[in-house]
A = this chain, B = another copy of it.
Amino acid sequence: MRVSELSQLLGAVLEGDPSREVRNVAALDTATPEDVAFAEGERGLARALDSRAGCILVARGLSVPGHTTVAVDNPKLALIRAAAALLPAEKPRSGIHPSAVIAAGARLAADVSIGAHVVIDRSVSIGAGSSLGAGVYIGEGARVGDHCVLYPRVTVYAGARIGNSVVLHAGVVVGSDGFGYVFAEGQYHKFPQLGGVIIEDDVEVGSNTTIDRGSLGTTVIGQGTKIDNLVQIAHNVRIGRHCVIAAQTGISGSAMIGDYVVMAGQVGVGEHARIEDRAVIAGQAGVLNGKVVRKGATMWGTPARPIEEIKKQCVHLANLPALARKVRQLASMATKP
């Protein structure tokens, strides 16, 4: 694709050589003259000066001396669009591998792609254009919508509901039993884990993440939410729309997460906690059972508190030895005659 075509596609302002051919996207430092890269911020623009990229996406009003640039509203977003144009995702060939085991009564749309050793149980439905990688298992009565991509070894328990354009990475488990027991007579009795699990449209879930079904209620992952690897979502959790949840975070039973919430890695959220819209939880923070995090708040630490308080506390903690020394001084002065 010529840079002029790319620029037009992005509704952008081109500066430099419009006739260059680009074929790929790359980072500034590894880009070749056939690559499109993007530059943001002072450091990005400085690094752009030395880049061999054939075309650099920059913010409107900017350019990079000696380089062909395409100025757009959001350079990083423009790179996504450039990649989509230059490298359209290869659709797996539709068809059903002969080694797949598909129960009678399963409904598969005509153009699905079913990989080797896939197992599909009774009463399952798989929507148009969806692809199931090698060894995927779909339990009885589960539904997978249109244009989903399930990577190899995904396990979907019976009855789960998966929307459209959902991506589940390798080893993801959807719909396993929640962790609920009643202690009586010296042992733990399993509480019924009979509820559902709903994964709405446009959700992406990272490798080996686990999402439990509801016990009596339903576990819900809202539309557009993105979940990283090795995350734990317990029974009856409700996550709103367009949240981002980084790796190894764990959300305990019946927690409610609003829309546009961001959680960094290794966060823990206690049972029945409520995290309102647009809140941000910083890495390794622990939100206690039943705690409410208000709309838009940014929290850190265990127990989680507003991040400014925690940062101040860190400073005070670092000064604690000096404070103790000062108190000893004052005490010795006070007891002197």
Contacts and interface: CB of A to CB of B under 8 A. Distances in A.
Given A169-B173, A242-B186, A119 B312 contact: no
Contacts of A298: none
By secondary structure, the A interface counts as loop
A266 B170 CA distance: 22
A331 interface: yes
A247 B173 CA distance: 14
A116 B284 CA distance: 40
Contacts of A60: none
A155 interface: yes
Nearest to A215: B27
Contacts of A301: 302
Contact of A194 (B83, B157, B248): B83
Interface of A: 25-27, 30, 74, 76-77, 79-80, 83, 87, 97, 99, 101, 115-117, 119, 133-135, 137, 139, 151-153, 155, 157, 169-171, 173, 176-177, 179, 181-182, 184, 186-192, 194, 202, 204, 206-208, 210, 212, 216-217, 224, 226, 228-230, 232, 234, 242, 244, 246-248, 250, 252, 265-266, 268, 270, 283-284, 286, 288, 301-303, 309, 312-314, 316-321, 323-324, 326-327, 330-331, 333-334
